[in-house]
Each structure stands twice: as structure tokens, then as C-alpha cells.
Amino acid sequence: MATKNIMIVGVGGQGTLLTSRILGGLTIAGGYDVKLSEVHGMAQRGGSVVTFVRYGEAVAEPIVEEGQADVIIAFERLEALRYAHFLKKDGVLIVNDWRIDPMPVVIGAAEYPENILETLEKEYKIYKVNATEESRKLGNPKVFNLIVLGVAAQHMDFTKEQWYEVIEKTVPPKTIEINKKAFDVGYTL
Amino acid sequence: MSEKVIMLGNEAIARGAYEAGIKVSSAYPGTPSTEISEYMVQYKDTFYEEWAPNEKVAAEVAVGASIAGVRAMACMKHVGLNVASDPLYSVSYMGVNGGLVLTVADDPGLYSSQNEQDTRMVARAAQIPVIEPSDSAEAKEFIKAAFELSEKFDRPFIYRITTRLAHSQGLVELCDREEIEDKPYVKDIRKNVMMPGNAKLRHVEIEKRNKELAEAANTLSINTVEMNDTKMGVITSGIPYQYVKEALPQASVLKLGMVNPLPRKMIEEFAAKVDTLYVVEELDPVIEEQVKSWGIKVIGKEIFTVQGEYSANMLRKAILKEDLDIKSPADAPKRPPILCPGCPHRSVYHVLKKLKMHAAGDIGCYTLGAVAPLSVVDTTMCMGSSISTLHGMEKAKGKEYIKNWVAVIGDSTFLHTGVNSLMNMVYNNATGTVMILDNSTTGMTGHQDHAATGKTLQGDPTYAIDIPKLCRAIGVNHVTEVNAFDLETLEKTIKEEVARDEASVIITKSPCVLLDKSKKPLYIAHEDKCKKCGMCMKPGCPAMTKNADGTIHIDDTMCTGCGLCESLCKFDAIELVKAGE
């Protein structure tokens, strides 16, 4: 099997680390070699954050490079736009239809691009979900990332049971049920 | 085969140190090295680990443990090694008793650092051997080699990693801990007391040891040759090895596990077997320049950069001259790191900005006060430098010149090296004002305890240094504590203290908003009452956005209820709708 390349992009604090760790756990359970790359420290403080997950028979570098991503999971529209060119030709982009203004936009030094999803749709295969709204319906807006992950799971080769198992192992014990529920919402959308 | 688990590079180092039988570890947090110590806590019943106030202290603690006869480690980031360079250069002469390893994390690409220095250069200057792993599995294994060689050759070792290794995860096979018997302590002042007569002899001795080590490097199992096509040979080490394997699978590769001293014979033999030879190393041409000095033809920084991280695509372009069909990135506004919603630093900077103050800054989250819209911080150089920088400005231009200046420094950074600078201010009759932004943690590295938090690395209760008392003991007569969100008192205090012709300290005491895990209060903005004046937007809270009509919206998923916006609104358009718990 050729190495699969997945990216999770978002804004620092949105839970990209948790999501990449769930993916990492999943690929190990699948018996693959796996490497993950994360961002810690200053860059995490509300900045643009990207994490990489690579799995296959034998993985060398821990990063995904431009033109190589099979799947990009974007937790925010502008971040989807920023990293979309990392997708390979038939790659899939899953976007949380949500906007968080970066500081240059907040202070009026830059404008938040209009019609990001429409622009991206012309070039890439994209699946959008308003996971932040959906998670509100579940009563916990913090679990939106599991909804996005549920959508992504539809485009990956793991069973629902495998996903459940790794979610149970990775998220804090008190939040297992709500996270599984959130995953289901995305998985059935 | 034993169990394989996925581990962060830093976690693998902690595990490797455990398996290598270490007994003492000391560190100061610094991205990307911080998690090593945090992952060590799980072994607290087996060996001792601690947070030290700075890297010099940490290194000296490890040296002491080594002298006492046990395997010991200190961990730090690259710039932390600068702080520890005083013991580094001298312990190089002393050598070790128990194995001694300093794990030092470089940051190519400056993810969270003030410079891009290459630890291998420092190691060469201090004549310290360096071992470098290339993934999590090696991170765990190679550290054992570092301890063994340290004891065998009587040399302290540097274990060099980079951000990409520290913060990548890979599969690791767990082994049992090796129980190492303590080395007997033998009093030997010629080895352990570095006064001139002894040091002169030790210098001769370590030159000899390093030569022996360089010879041994030719047969070390951590230096490996993978012969493939002989048209192209690559010498590499660390993370760049992984990029070489991705981009140049056909090339022959000499992979160095030990990057100082270099295995000259091994390199010469490898060079003789290949037609074209490249050195692929991030940052400085450390391997390249030595190989070139031996008269070997090698291509390196002529085609590679000394800045940032490498990648497989970079090698494909530079070596294979491949025209990669890569789309250019879309034109997207940048998203730089920012102070979190509810951060007490924002409130302090808002007041400083209102008063048109300049700040000599320091290393921490509060460095972000340099950027718009706060734009208060004028200088940031290194840990603890804010206070001494302000002092230097005063001595250059006089006390009136700094009446619109303060130094800003965090609690952890103050205890790291800021405290020395405050002594200097008092000693030399300075009149400046130092603001200690005390958020009760080491914030930027991800919330580590320190000597004033009342908790050890293991989370056990301990004495908490009283920072106000410490400042008074140093001789600062005017030490004022203010709540960071009490804008009125804060403004009044800053005005009073900068006007004073005597050194003063203002401590803004408000915990990091991320420390408090309880349910936060929530504010909403009433569009009908909003006069669109923009006052509440001034401090640049990321939870606030402008609607199309100019009124304000507060994002309920981000608001932490600090109330700064409410206190700035003169029209009661912002209301507390949910109290905290």
C-alpha cells in the first residue's frame, strides 16, 4: 500500500492535536507503520496550526508535503484555503464551514476572503459541514472536531468499530459518550 | 518481540533515559524540549526529575549527580544551552563519573524561538560529543549509546534533537530498564576542581579522549552506511535523513548517529565509493565544512539553505532538478499567534498603550504584546533581558528618558534570570519600573510549574517563593500588587510608579486563563445599544468580530468572560449573560 497522507489544519486551540492523536491510534490499530507531526509552543496560541498523519507499510518523513495529501481535514474556512494546495490530484478536502477572524482581519489590516468554499469547490473535491452548529445541537460546541472527523471517516478505510475503540482510548473518560455521539453525527451526514 | 507503542520524540527520550537507568534529571521548560520532563513524571518512583529555575542550574544539578556516580541528564532548548554554557565548557574538561547527557533541542524554522542557532556549533566550541537520532525509535535507543559512550570515554554528551523530531510521533519498541550500579565516588581534585593548574592538564586529557572517540566513531553501530546506487552518495543525520529516504531512495547513504566528532575514515571510504557526494544537514554546514577541510569534494550549502527546515520536495528540486507540479498557495491573510481570549496580558497592555508607554519585553506569551493592535513591546532578546535592557537605556539617556518606559517580564522568566537584573537595578540606583506579569505558571511552553507556584514537576506541594517579598528583599521599596483586570487601579499605579525616582515593581497577579478549567462567564453584545465606536475592539480580543453593519459580535465558543470589553464599553452594550462557576 502506498503511504496515506492526512493533514489536520485549524486554529490553535481548536483541538487539532486530539484529532491527530485519534487518527494515529486508529492507524496503529490497523497494523500500519505511522508517523505524526504536531505543533506545540508559541505557534499554538491562536495561530494557524497544521498536523500531519502518515501511515503505510514503512513511513520515513513525518510531514506531508505540497501536492501529497490524500485527505485534508480543515476546522476553519481560511485554514482550508491556506493549505488546499497540499492536496494531491484526487485528494479530498473536508471543511468545517466556520469562520474565525485572524488578527489582521480583526484590526482591519486585511480582509477575510469571500466565498472561500465556492472558490475551493472549483478546484478540489470538497465536503463541507457546519460542525460548530451541529455540535451546539448536541449541547457542547467543543466536540465539533469529532463531527468533522466523522465526515472524514466516510472517506477513509476504517470500520466504525475501529473508530469507536480509538475514540474511547483517546478522549477524556467523562467525554467518551458525547464524543462518540458527535462522531456519529458526522459519520451519517 | 515486545510491545510497540506510538510516542512523541520527547516521550521516547524520556523512555530511553528511563531504560538507560538514569537516576537524576533536571530541566527548565523550553519549546521544543519541554515534554521530555513531563513524560518523565510517570517514572517518578524509579528516578528523580525536577524543574530548575534555569538551564545553568539544571546542567549543574546533572553534573553534581554525575560526580556522585549516577547517570544524569539535563534537558533544554538551544538557547537554554547558552544559559548553561558556563558549566558546559568546564564540565567538558572535568568529564564524568556517572554518564552525563544534556539533551538540547534546536528549532530550525523558528516555531517558538528567538533565533535559529545550531547546537552542533556550540558543541564543537566546547569540545562536547554529539549524538543525534532521526525518529522516535532512535530517540529512545541512541540515548543509551550516549550514556554508555559518556562513561566509556569520560565525556559529557549532548543529545541533539530538532523540533520536528521532538514533536513527531512514531512507533517505539519498549525495553526493560537497565539497572546501572552507582559508580563509586573517588575524591579527585585534579579532575573535579577546575583551577588553572588542574584545567591545563585536563585540557590535554580531553584532547586525547576526543581523539580516541573520533577513532571509535568509525566503528560505532549508530553510524551506518546503506550502499545503493554509487552514482550518488549522501551524508546526513537526524530528521534530514528521513527526507533523503523519501526523495532519494536510490542513493547510497552514510547516516551519522554521532555528529561530533565525525568518523573520518568511514566518511573517506564512503566518499571514495560514490561519484557525487552531498551533505544534507539543516542549519549550519557543520559536517560539510569538516569534510571539505579533509580535501573531499562534496556539495552542500551551495545548493541548500542554512535557514529553516528541509523537506523531501526541497531535495527533489535541489538535487534531482525535478520540476514539481505544485500549485502555489492561495492568497490568504496570515494568522499569527495571538494572546488567548481572556488573557490577563491583554488587559495590562491595553492600559500601557493608553498611557503611550514603551516596554522592554522578555520571553513568554507576553512577547505577543509587540504586535498590532497592542504594539507596546519595543524589545525582546532573551530570557531575563527586559529589566537589564531598561536599565541600560536609563544609564545611557538619564532617568527622565525612561519615564514612559517599563520592563515587562513573566513570573517564570523573572525567576529564571530576571531576578539578577533586578539586583543590578537596585545596586546601581536605577529608577525604572518593572512589571512582573504573574500568571502563576510558565505559560507559553504549556503550563509548567516553577519555584513560585507551590508545586513540583510531579505536582506535589512545595514552598512557593513569594515574589513580592523577594523583590523587597532585593531592596525594591515600592512593590505594588494589582489585579490585571482592574483597569483603573492599574492605570493609577503605573502612572505613580514610573514617576517615582526610585526602582519600583508592579506585579499584576492574574492566573493564565487556560489554567482555570471551571465554567467561564459569558458576555454578549447588544446590537441595538452598540454605537459602533470600536472601543471594545481596541485590545484585539479574538472572540470579538465586527458585523457587516459595524456592530459587535462576541463568539460564545471563544469568550472566557474576562470582562475587559464590558469595562471598555460606555454604552452598556455588552452584558454578562451567564455567570461563571
How does pLDDT run across A7-29, given as a tens digit for each residue? 999 998 888 889 999 999 999 88
3-state class of B19 per DSSP? Answer: helix
Rounded average pLDDT over A153-173: 94
Picking from A7, A19, A42, A78 by the largest number of B CB atoms within 10 A of its own CB, the best residue to mutate is A42
pLDDT digits (tens, 9 = 90+) for B209-229: 999 999 999 999 999 999 999
Topology (CATH level 3) of domain B4-181+188-219: Rossmann fold (3.40.50)
| CA within 13 Å, CB half, B394 | 30
Q: Are B119 and B162 in contact (CB under 8 A)?
A: no
Model confidence over B409-463: pLDDT tens digits?
Answer: 999 999 999 999 999 999 999 999 999 999 999 999 999 999 999 999 999 999 9
Point out the residue among A28, A82, A103 whose CB comes nearest to the CB of B336.
Answer: A103
Looking at the complex, does the CB of residue B1 fall below 8 Å from at least one CB of chain A?
Answer: no
Q: Going along B167-246, which residue ranges are E strands?
A: 168-173, 224-226, 229-237
Contact A85 B326 (CB under 8 A): yes
Q: What pLDDT shows up at residue A157?
A: 87
List, for residues B309-360, the tens digit of each pLDDT value.
999 999 999 999 999 889 999 999 999 999 999 999 999 999 999 999 999 9
Do B389 and B343 form a contact (C-beta atoms < 8 A)? no
Q: Do B337 and A79 touch (CB under 8 A)?
A: no
What was the pLDDT predicted at B497? 98
Q: Is the pLDDT of residue B96 over 90?
A: yes
* Confidence band, pLDDT 50/70/90 cuts, at residue B519: confident
| pLDDT score of B2 more than 70 | no
Residues in chain A within 8 Å Cβ distance of B368: 45
- Give the bridge partners for B27, in sequence order: B51, B75
* CB within 8 Å: A113 and B170: no
Across B502-524, average pLDDT: 92
Return the H-helix or E-strand segment holding B381. none
Chain B residues in contact with A60 by the CB 8 A cut-off are 242-243, 245-246
Percent of chain A with pLDDT over 70: 98
Domain extents for chain B? 4-181+188-219, 224-318, 344-509, 522-578
The hierarchical CATH code for the domain B344-509 is 3.40.50.970
Under 8 Å between Cβ of B575 and B526 = yes
Instruction: List B279's β-bridge partners, or say none.
Output: B235
Instruction: Tell me what pLDDT residue A143 has.
Output: 93
Class of CATH domain B522-578: alpha beta
Give the model's pLDDT for residue A41. Answer: 67
The larger pLDDT score, comparing residue B518 to residue A5, is at: A5
Query: Across the interface, do A46 and B337 touch by the CB < 8 Å criterion?
Result: yes
Q: How far is CA B230 from the centre of its chain?
A: 40
Please say if the pLDDT value at position B171 is more than 80: yes
Banded pLDDT at A46 (limits 50, 70, 90):
confident
Judged by a CB distance cut-off of 8 A, whether residue B220 touches chain A is no
> Measured between beta carbons, which residues in chain B are less than 8 angstroms from residue A78?
332-333, 335
pLDDT tens, position by position, B383-421: 999 999 999 999 999 999 999 999 999 999 999 999 999
What pLDDT was estimated at residue B480? 98
* Cα distance between residue B539 and residue A107, in whole Å: 9
What's residue A40's pLDDT? Answer: 76
pLDDT score of A13: 85
The reply to whether B224-318 shares the fold of B4-181+188-219 is yes
Confidence of residue B277 (pLDDT cuts 50, 70, 90): very high
Query: Taking CA atoms, what residue in B is nearest to A142?
Result: B557
Residues 6 or more apart whose CB falls under 8 angstroms from that of B535 comprise: B568, B569, B570
Chain B hits for A82, CB-CB cut-off 8 Å, are 329-330, 332, 335
- Cβ contact A34–B169 (<8 Å): yes
Tell whether pTM > 0.90. Answer: yes
Check CB contact under 8 Å for A24 and B167. Answer: no
B388 to each of B72, B407, B414, how far by Cα in Å?
33, 9, 12
End-to-end CA distance of chain A: 29
Q: List the single residue in A34, A102, A142 with the smallest CB-CB distance to B333.
A: A102
A176-187 vs A160-170: helix crossing angle, rounded to 10: 150
For residues B547-567, b (16+ Cβ closer than 10 Å) or e, as one string?
Answer: eeeebbebbeebbbbbbbbbe
Q: Report, as an integer, the average pLDDT of B521-531.
A: 94
**Candidates A25, A105, A132; nearest CB to B333:** A105
Contacting residues of B for A44, CB less than 8 Å apart = 337
Q: Which pLDDT score, from 0 to 100, does residue A42 have?
A: 64
Residues of B numbered 383-412 whose beta carbons fall under 8 angstroms of chain A's beta carbons: which are they? Answer: none
Tell me the C-alpha distance between B170 and B413, whole Å.
33
**CA–CA min distance B345, chain A (Å):** 13
CA-nearest residue of chain A to B336? Answer: A47
Q: Do residue A35 and residue B168 have CB atoms under 8 angstroms apart?
A: yes
Strands B72-77 and B24-27 turn out to be parallel
Outline where DSSP puts E strands in B15-116: 24-27, 48-51, 72-77, 100-106
| B381 alpha carbon, distance to own chain's centre | 14
List the grid coordinates of B560.
472566557
Class (C level, CATH) for B224-318: alpha beta
What is the predicted pLDDT for the residue at A85? Answer: 97
CA B241, B147, B61, B88 torsion: positive or negative?
A: negative
Distance from C-alpha of B317 to C-alpha of A66, rounded to nearest angstrom:
13
Name the residue of chain A whose CA is nearest to B325's CA: A67
Whole-angstrom CA distances from B53 to A160, B37, B59, B442, B500 are 48, 14, 11, 11, 31
User: Which chain A residues contact residue B329 at CB under 8 A?
Assistant: 82-83, 85
**What percent of chain A has pLDDT above 90?**
83
Please provide the average confidence, as pLDDT, over all residues in chain B: 96
Contact across the interface for B332 and A44, Cβ inside 8 Å? no
Best of B77, B169, B441 to mutate (most A CBs within 10 Å, chain A):
B169
Q: Per the CB < 8 Å rule, is B246 touching A60?
A: yes
In whole angstroms, give the CA distance from residue B305 to residue B283. 7
Q: Which of B111, B243, B324 sits opposite A61 (nearest CB)?
A: B243
Average pLDDT, chain A: 93
B371 pLDDT above the threshold of 80: yes
Judged by CB atoms within 8 Å, which residues 259-318 of B form the interface with A? 311-313
Nearest to A144 by CA among A110, A104, A185: A185
Nearest Cα residue in chain A from B368:
A42
3-state secondary structure of B214: helix
pLDDT tens for B298-321 read 999 999 999 999 999 999 999 999
State the complex-level ipTM: 0.95
In total, the C-beta contacts within 8 angstroms joining chain A to chain B are 170
Does residue B536 carry a pLDDT above 90? yes
Q: Do B326 and A33 touch (CB under 8 A)?
A: no
Return the beta strands (E) in B401-472 as ranges.
Answer: 405-410, 433-438
**What pLDDT is recorded for position A44?**
65
Among B347, B365, B381, B314, smallest CA distance to B494 is for B347
Q: How confident is the model at residue A39 (pLDDT cuts 50, 70, 90)?
A: confident
CA–CA distance, B419 with B388 (Å, rounded to integer): 10
Least confident residue range of B45-54, B132-141, B371-380, B540-549: B540-549
- The residue in chain B having the minimum alpha-carbon distance to the alpha carbon of residue A77 is B332
Under DSSP, the state recorded for B8 is: E
> Residue A42: which of B329, B335, B337 has the nearest Cβ?
B337
Residue B517: pLDDT band with limits 50, 70, 90? confident
Does position A124 have pLDDT exceeding 90, yes or no? yes
pLDDT at residue number B282 = 98
CA distance B194 to B91: 9
B369, pLDDT greater than 70: yes
* Contact state of B313 with A24 under an 8 Å Cβ cutoff: no
The superfamily (CATH) of domain A4-187 is Pyruvate-ferredoxin oxidoreductase, PFOR, domain III (3.40.920.10)
Chain A contact present for B167, CB below 8 A? yes
Q: Do B372 and A142 touch (CB under 8 A)?
A: no
Cα separation, B230 vs B253, in Å, equals: 10
